Structure formats: C-alpha cells, structure tokens
Structure 1
Amino acid sequence: MSYWICTTCGVQTDAVEVQPSTCRICSDERQYVNPDGQSWTTREAMVASGNYRTTVTPEQPRLMSLVTSPQFGIGQTAYLVAGAKRLLWDCITYLDQTVIDEINQQGGLDAIALSHPHYYATQVDWAEAFGVPIYIHQADEQWVTRPSDRIIFWSGDRLELAEDLILHRIGGHFDGATVLEWTQGDTGRGVLLTGDIVRVVAERAWVSFMYSYPNLIPLPATTVAQMASQLSTLSFNQLYDAFHRIVENDAAGAVARSATRYIDALGGTHD
C-alpha cells in the first residue's frame, strides 16, 4: 500500500496498492493532465532519490517561505507564519527529516491551513510529522484525496485561529477558497496571504483573479465583485501569493484597483 503523489499537481492520494489511473485534482478543468500522460511517485521515492530540497527562508520578522527545488508539481510556495500560533499556510509536497528538524528547532508548528485543493500536497504527512490539525473549508471537502482525522472542516466565511491569524473564505477559484489575514504582519500594518485565490501579476502593483490559471478561464465579474467586497473589510499593507510574488505596499489598494479593472475589462468598458 502506498500514498501515491501525482507528479503534475503534487497532491497525495489515500493508500492504495496500485497506482491510480487518474488524478482527481488534475482531471478538473482548473488543472490539467500532463500531455505526456499521468505519472505518480511517492514521498519515500522522492527522499531516496536525493534530488530534492525544501528550503526555509526568512521573508520578514516572523514570516518564512518554504520552497522545494528543483520545482515539483505546481511549484507553489508555502509560508510559516509565527503569529500568536505557528501556522503553516498552504503546503508543499516534499518533506524530509531535515525540514522537520529545522522547523522544530525554530518552534515547530501549531496548525496547518489551506487556501484551496491545488496545494493540499502531502498535508497529512506534514500534520502527522508535527502533530497538528489541518484547517480546510467545508465547501472543499470533496477534493480531499487523503482523508485524515487531523482535518478540521470549518464553515462560514471567517475563522479566527488566533488573535492575529484569521481565515476568510472568499470563494472564486474554488467554492471554499480561503485567504489568511495576519493582522500583526509588516510591523502591525497587516499581511494578506492568498495562495492564488488572489494572484500577484507581473506588474507588482496589480493582482488578478481566475477560475483556472493554466487553462485561462476567467471568473465572472459578479464573483470578483463579491470577492473584492469581502476583501475591502480587511486591513493589510502587503500581500504574498503562492508563487513568491509580493505587493510590498498598499496591497489593499492594489486589490481594489485590480478588481475594478478586471470587472471593467469583462464588461467591455476598460480603455
């Protein structure tokens, strides 16, 4: 029995004897099946290969990024936020004892929270390694490919994990799509961590919103307007997305401007 990992998205399955024929995550139109065909590996095989390394890098006081090289799966960045609780925001696939030891030496983890299914990765392995719960919005329960008693399915639009760490379900990319508000980040001015529910674009003063990024399927204007309305109630100066892109200043303004531009473009009124 093996916990198979899809090499395209990096998400792990429940234990089965034979490699699955399809990946539930990649078969959805928001992701894609590799043109070369479906392929699988295991975390044990990745560790044994000696090819991978996950690096923990300070970003600002009490915020660290976690990146695997060479790139595996989607290639997302996870973040460790050392707020009132030590929270792993989103997840990456590659985990070995070196990473476990490094994080434990810095204080360990108290919880894991996910923005959406594309970054579930080996979340259960991480939760078991650190003995912590996983927070996933109930609307995305159907996308969990490896069930675990450590998963807490929360509901509603807001969940306070700690006094300075608040999950907000804003929808869009997935029904349960969630962002993390870290109120004490950026020396108290606030940081929003968004996965790619809100994606920082090439010009860092702007962001965008999509139903599918690889297949370039936009979200409806009404959905983006609702997302922007919810985000307008939050206070944050910086925004970190899942691909290590950062809006360094006035991120709340960037989100508002970008939502207006997006809605205008879809409505045919953008010059």
Structure 2
Amino acid sequence: MSEEDALLPICKACGTQYPSVRNNCPICEDPRQFVPASGQAWSSLAELSSSSKHTLLPDSEDERDCLIQTEPGFGINQTPFLIQTHAGSYIWDCAAFLSLGLIGHLTTLKQPLRAIAISHPHFFAASLTWSRALKVPLYICEADKEWFQRLDDVRDNDDIRFWSDEEELGPGVKVIQCGGHFSGSSILHWDRLQEPPPPADDLPSRPTPVSGIIFTADTIMVQPTQTMFTFLWSAPNMIPLRPKDVLAIQDRLKSLPYHQATSSWPSRWIRSDAKQVFQESVVAYLAAEGWRVDEQDKLVELIT
C-alpha cells in the first residue's frame, strides 16, 4: 500500500475514501445514508492503523467463507467476505480499513486472490486502494459508476472493470445486477456444486456444503431473526423499497439455484431453503406494503 493512498481522507460516517481533502461526503448526503448530527468528520488509513485491527471469522458451516471484520467497527461497519474456491479466491464487498497484516494474508492464500467485487456504493469504501495493494481487478457495476468517488484518481495501471447485468468472476462464481437499493445493486452467487470433492486421503471432519449460496449485502437483507428477508431503499433512514423493485429482484433470481444466503454482516444467515424463504418473504413484504400479485403477475392493492 502506497503512502499516498494511506493518507487519503476517509469519511468516518460511511467509510468512503476520497482522492483529496474535502468538506462534504456525497455518499452521506444521499438520502440512503446520513450526515451525523455532529457533522462530517474524516480519518485516513494511516490514522486507522494505530487503533484498528482485522479479525477473520470463518463460517461455522463452511470455512471457505470468511468474514473480514474490522475491530473496532468503523463507518457503517462494512464486513467483506473472503470466498475461497478451488479455482481462486475472491473478496466480496470492501471496508475502509486495510492493514499490512491483511495484505500479507491475502497475497499468500493457497488459492490466489482473483478479484474484488462490490455490491453497491455504500461498500465502495477504500476498494481502489485494496485493488492496488492486492494487485487484483476491481469489479463495479456500470450503473453505479457515478457513485465511485475515485474516478478522477484512476491510473493507467489500475484494473477497474465496470460490468452490467451479469459477470462471471471465475468457475462457479458470478455477480448479478438486481437493482433496487441502487440501480447497480448486486449479489454474488457461488455454485458450490462445481467444487471438486475433497481427496480421499484428506477428508474434512464434517460435510462440506455443496448447495448454491448467494451473498446479498443490502440488495436482499437477511432480517435479524435469520428466518426471513426484507427489502430497503434506505436502511438507516428506514425507507422501504418500492414493490415493483422487489418484483424485479425476484425476477432476476427466479432461475438461480441456491439453498443458503447471507448478508454482509456477522449472524445474518438463511441456512436452509433460502430460495423458498425468499419467495415467502416477497409475499410478506408486499402484503405489509398493502399489495399482492394476482394471477397475471400484476400488482393489485389489498382490500383493507
């Protein structure tokens, strides 16, 4: 990580890194986020390194999934995933803080790191710095390009790949644009059925999941109950997503095979029957908003 990147300003409220000193944060000023009552405040990677550390939290069922947690929490406490497949490793979403220790760990993985992919602008954070330090491509949905605050800071040797609709990152791993929370809001799907079986002389002590899994971030939020999903246009300001946007997300995922789902924070899992839970969650959400879908797949207002 360069000294230049380490000194760039980072918004303390949302964790977005900027290419130069400024007084305001467009991410926080957008109604999906907020400017704290105390006002906008700033930090940097150099400052954070004196008080922050990383903790790796492997999933209790599949150690190939690992949360990268910043302690103490910073910004909106973005918690990226490290996903390790047979053909390479991937980082899903990004945080503000990046330590030399984490760089060392991620650059010496058994399955080399192949890419970083971001779900939506609230997780852009310091992703360009992460991409540079780790020397891997950064995938950002084209529809959210305007929210990427370091466009003016991109160098010729930076590898930023703007994509749309659907993009394969590697065998069995792809990102899918769903919209809703932001126009480019996306999920990551890992088809674990494409993973080869473990060698007979090195079998794991417990079964390794083989079902499909979706990493949803804010696009489809796992409720704290971990029994249902919900859909929000703004989580901190408690603004629900429009029913038509929810149905558009449902349509994008209807042919996708998955059995589990997780949002980008600890303890936000749907461990089984996630696809069925998703369908039930859509029905419950629409009903709470006063709508249902009729036999022609059209929204009709509930009679109350």
**Coarse TM-score class (shorter-chain normalised):** over 0.9
Counterpart of 1:74 in structure 2 is 76
Which one of 249, 255, 267 corresponds to residue 272 of structure 2? 249
Say whether the 8 Å CA contact 1:54–1:66 is kept in structure 2.
yes
SS of 1:26's equivalent in the other structure is helix
Alignment of 1:78-227 (within 5 A): 78-83=80-85, 84-107=87-110, 108-147=112-151, 148=154, 149-155=158-164, 157-184=165-192, 187-227=209-249
Question: 1:224-251 CA distances to partner (integer Å, 9 max, x unpaired)?
Answer: 0111121221111111101221111111
Q: SS where residue 230 of structure 1 aligns?
A: helix
Q: Deviations over 1:190-242 (max 9, x none)?
A: 11001111111122110111110111111111110111121221111111101
Q: State the Cα distance separating 1:104 from its structure 2 match.
A: 2.4
Aligned residues: 265
Instruction: Return 5+ residue gaps in structure 1 as ranges.
Output: none
Contact 2:106–2:134 (8 Å) recurs in 1: no
TM-score (norm 1): 0.93
Counterpart Cα distance in 2 of 1:246 and 1:54: 21
Residue 295 of structure 2: aligned partner: none
After TM superposition, give the deviation of residue 270 of structure 1 in Å: 9.8
Show the 5 A alignment for 1:230-245: 230-244=252-266, 245=268
Task: State the match for 1:7 in structure 2.
Answer: 12
- Whichever residue aligns with residue 224 of structure 1, its letter is V
Match of 2:149, SS state, is coil
Query: Please, what TM-score do these two structures have when normalized by structure 2?
Result: 0.83
Matching of residue 63 in structure 1 with residue 71 in structure 2? no
> In structure 2, the residue corresponding to 1:188 is in which secondary structure?
coil
Deviation of residue 132 (structure 1)? 0.6
Q: Percent identity?
A: 34
Q: Conserved in 2, the CA contact under 8 Å of 1:68 and 1:94? A: yes
